[in-house]
């Protein structure tokens, strides 16, 4: 679709998309937060080291710190997804406790 819409060959479109994805990967690996307006946000979250338990042996094990990629859906995508619900029901939203 991209190749047709931009009037380029599929090979060129594939190279451009792959280069774009490679840049996203390089940025998140470097720990940068990437925000694409109305699409969403990619960010790396670090989870600290902790103690865990082997469920089979009940042995306490050390779980090292880890980095995880988080994606938060943007407003436009969220609205389109909610608008596309066939039941007409809206998903439950988070409510804040009043103080």
Note down pLDDT in tens along the chain; length 99 residues: 888 888 889 999 999 999 999 999 999 999 899 999 889 999 999 999 999 999 999 999 999 999 999 999 998 999 998 887 554 455 555 555 554
Indicate if the alpha-carbon torsion angle 73, 76, 78, 80 is positive or negative.
Answer: negative
Q: Give the integer Cα–Cα distance in Å for 85 and 50.
A: 40
Q: Give the integer Cα–Cα distance in Å for 87 and 93.
A: 16
What is the pLDDT, as a whole number, of residue 99? 44
What is the pLDDT, as a whole number, of residue 2? 84
For 40-77, letters b (16+ CB in 10 Å) and e give bebebeeeeeeeeeeeeeeeeeeeeeeeeeeeeeeeee
Fold annotation for 2-83: HU Protein; Chain A (4.10.520)
Q: Give the integer Cα–Cα distance in Å for 68 and 48.
A: 11
What is the pLDDT, as a whole number, of residue 28? 92
Residue partners of 74: CB distance under 8 A and separation at least 6: 36, 37, 38, 39, 40, 41
The residue ranges of every structural domain in the chain are: 2-83
């Amino acid at each position: 679709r991209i190749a047709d819409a931009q009037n380029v060959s599929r090979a060129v479109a594939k190279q451009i998309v792959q280069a774009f994805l490679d840049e996203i990967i390089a940025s998140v690996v470097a720990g940068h937060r990437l925000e694409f307006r109305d699409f969403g946000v990619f960010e790396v979250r670090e989870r600290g080291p902790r103690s865990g338990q082997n469920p089979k042996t009940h042995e306490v094990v050390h779980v090292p710190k880890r980095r995880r990629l988080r994606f938060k859906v943007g407003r436009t995508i969220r609205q389109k997804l909610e608008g596309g619900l066939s039941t007409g029901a809206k998903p439950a939203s988070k409510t804040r406790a009043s103080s």
